[in-house]
Structure 1
Amino acid sequence: MFSFIISFLPTSYFIPGWLTLDANPLDSLLQGLVGACGISVLCSLLRVHLLLEESWSEKHDKNTSSERKTSHQTRPKTGLAEMLHFFFVTGILAIVGSRVASLVVLEFSLRAVSGSVTAGPESRKFLQQLLVQSQFSLGCALTCSLCFLHEGSSQRWLCLLLAAGLSWFLARQATRLLHHVIALYKLHSSQRYCGICISLLTSGSSVLPMLCRAMIITFSVAGLAAVSIINQHFLSATEALRFWTPLTICYTLLVVYMQEEQHRLPSSQAVLNAVMVRLGGLMVLMLTVGRWADVLHILMCFLGEASCLIPTKDLLDAAASQEEEDYTHYVKRERQHRPRAHEKENKR
């Protein structure tokens, strides 16, 4: 229906071709809705994981002042602000084309693989920060996967409508779980009253591994879809090689630079700087080998990344504070083990 109405619009006279959407507006809107729901589920489960870790640390540590401060900071947005943020992210993901979304997915996949290889003993902190940074990339992964999987389908809008309904249901359930944990987890877990809180008490440590496995599956499918979508725009292998060679070099240099920046700067500042650097490099690359529509969509990606990362800076700060607490506990254990080691040596 939308394509029938748009066919009567004189776009060739008034609107340049690179300003029009790549797909049907209804399909793009439904894909953006699925991507925004995926981001909402990720943020809700991350906040649940952090709240569970804070409650566990309070049971083993009598000095809980820092944990209470972090718990206050990790409260999510509620009401009108939450809905406006959700629909804004939905609109951004609907506007961003499948080609640029595929590039964002490939860049994040390369960064995740290289970072996990070099993380070493900081793997847990790296995973938490990577999950926070993956919000907009997750939305792009879902949109380009849906675009690839439903390509050529005769009832594409119906399939996307079903996917959007299921995603909305999962997002609402994750939000309700988060609000339940914030309000009642401490009371219910201490009194063994609620089945949800008891299950979180016994198996809550599996939330972060479950998120990691889900992200691996999502980005594996999205990576294959991204390569297929990008290769559709090339008529020969020479054009594809002319595009992929500078893209690979640019991504590799950006990954190396961002890893150095994360070790040198605080976590939240390093993440924001990394967003500017990698999207800026991608824009320069698209100015040389891309199209004007790609440049416009990358500008929209700046807004999408900002709208996802700025409201969740508390999650990055919580991961950084957790790393500092782990380091202090490690120093205390080392100081306790040293006198024991000296005593054993003196006895010998």
Structure 2
Amino acid sequence: MLSFITSFLPTSYLLPGWLTLDVNPLESLLQGLVGACGISVLCSLMRVHLFLEEESTKTGFTGMIQFFFVTVMLSVVGSRVASLVVLEFCLRAVSGYVTAGPPRKFLLQLLVQSQFPLGCALNCSLSFLHEEAPQRWLCLLLAVALSWFLARQATRLLHHVMTLYKLHSSQRYCGICISLLTSGRCLLPMLCRTLIITFSVAVFAAVSIINQHFLSATEALRFWTPLTICYTLLVVYMQEDQHRLPGSQAVLNTVVVRLGGLMVLMLTVGRWADVLHILMCFLGEASCLIPDKDLLDAPPPQKKKKKQTKQTEPSGPAHT
């Protein structure tokens, strides 16, 4: 039944080969939905963390339009370009961690920048894990149901915290707010550990997906050598540039430069479909970063200092 429906969709006899999708359009859409739900969970939990630290943040909600736009972008982007985005982000994250260290300001900015790469990571991981599965669309449908449930729960948590956290934490009669009050500091480390696991799986899947497009080790070496050298130099340059510009401006400049460099590389060793997909990545990155500029420009959390009361001792004996 599924093959009968998809047989009416445009194929190579109507469109050029570089405009057709790598996989079934329905499977691409389901993978895009999983990636968009993952981005929604990450964004909601980041704002919960920022509210617990600063006790003030914007809602950051742009409606379902942004969600479906990101879904379309992730559905159109092929697994090959998604794998390149994952590898580039991991290289940038490791180099940034080495140069900047692990302060909370750097971790929060890195989490904001990881939104679209996270969608690409989930995309290529699902492509790799469900490769040649007999009922692939059914497995992806179950993944969509689970990710949609998690995204809804994270959104409800953010709504609850934004509206009732101050009241419930002071009155101490809400289990959710009491848990956040006592263990809210573990939210940022938990997000970091989750992303490390997700991108570790995605890196393995990305390397496997990219190597499938090469017929020999010589072709693979001809692709990986300029990619590694160019992006190592590019990442070092952009790390220095981020120290001179404000947070949001530096990040947006970084997106333009690194995706532009990736496009130039694809023009030399890639395909026209890769160039088209990189243009889609520009739009996907912008749709994730522009609504969250307040997170990029958020000041680093300040530790609350305890007030110390000084007791003055009498200078002389008390007179009776």
- SS class of match (1:264): coil
Give matches, 1:44-59, under 5 Å.
Answer: 44-55=44-55
Which residue matches 2:67?
86
4+ residue stretches of structure 1 with deviation over 4 A? 5-10
Give the distance between the partners of 2:207 and 2:133, measured in 1 at CA: 20
**Mapped pair 1:276 → 2:276:** no
Deviations 1:287-324 (A, max 9, x none): 00000000000000000000000001011111xx226x
Say whether the 8 Å CA contact 1:2–1:24 is kept in structure 2: no
**In 1: Cα distance, 2:11 partner to 2:24 partner:** 15
Alpha carbons 1:36, 1:89 under 8 Å: kept? yes
Q: Which residue identity is paired with 2:167?
A: L
Shift of 1:165: 0.2
Pairing of 1:245-324 with structure 2 (within 5 A) = 245-318=225-298, 321-322=299-300
Aligned partners of 2:36 and 2:119 also within 8 Å: yes
The equivalent of 1:226 in structure 2 is 206
- Mapping for residues 80-119 of structure 1, pairs under 5 Å: 81-119=62-100
- Distance across 2 between alignment mates of 1:229 and 1:111: 20
Q: 1:10 to 1:95 in 2, by over 3 A?
A: closer
Counterpart Cα distance in 2 of 1:51 and 1:316? 14
1:149 to 129, 139, 146: 129
Match of 1:242 in 2: 222
CA displacement at 1:105 relative to structure 2: 0.1
Matches within 5 A, 1:45-194: 45-55=45-55, 71=56, 73-77=57-61, 81-120=62-101, 123-194=103-174
Instruction: State which of 180, 185, 206 in structure 2 corresponds to 1:205.
Output: 185
Return 16-25 or 111-120, whichever deviates more: 111-120
CA RMSD, aligned part only? 1.8
Deviation at 1:40, TM superposition (A): 0.2
- Aligned-pair distance for 1:251? 1.1
Q: Given the superposition, is the C-alpha separation of residues 291 and 199 from structure 1 closer, same or farther in structure 2, using an over 3 Å criterion?
A: same
TM-score (norm 1): 0.85
Greater helix content? 1
SS in 1 for 2:288: helix
Q: Distance in 2 between matches of 1:30 and 1:10?
A: 18
Q: Assess if the C-alpha contact under 8 Å between 2:12 and 2:20 holds in 1.
A: no
Report the Cα offset of residue 136 of structure 1.
0.2
> How far, CA to CA, are the matches of 1:157 and 1:85 in structure 2?
24
Q: Any idea what the Cα deviations from partners look like across 1:9-66, whole Å, max 9, x if unmatched?
A: 67444310110011001100000000000000000000000000124xxxxxxxxxxx
Q: Does residue 215 of structure 1 match 2:195?
A: yes
Residue 31 of structure 2 corresponds to which residue in structure 1?
A: 31
How much has 1:123 moved relative to structure 2? 2.2
How many residues of Structure 1 are paired with residues of Structure 2 in the alignment?
Answer: 307
Per-residue CA shift, 1:254-287, capped at 9, x if unaligned? 1111101110100000000000000000000000
Q: Percent identity?
A: 82
Task: Report the 3-state secondary structure (helix = DSSP H, G, I; strand = E; otherwise coil) of the residue aligned with 1:322.
Answer: coil
User: Aligned partners of 1:54 and 1:7: how far apart in 2?
Assistant: 53
Which stretch has the larger CA shift, 122-131 or 190-199? 122-131
Per-residue CA shift, 1:191-234, capped at 9, x if unaligned? 10100000000000000000000000000000000000000000
CA contact (8 A) 2:104 2:300 kept: no
Contact 1:49 1:208 in 2 (8 A): yes
Distance across 2 between alignment mates of 1:312 and 1:152? 37
Question: Equivalent residue of 2:74, what SS?
Answer: helix
Q: Which residue of 1 aligns with 2:315?
A: none
In structure 2, relative to structure 1, the CA distance for the partners of 1:75 and 1:251 (3 Å cut) is: same
In the superposition, the TM-score normalised over structure 2's length comes to 0.92
Deviation at 1:74, TM superposition (A): 2.1
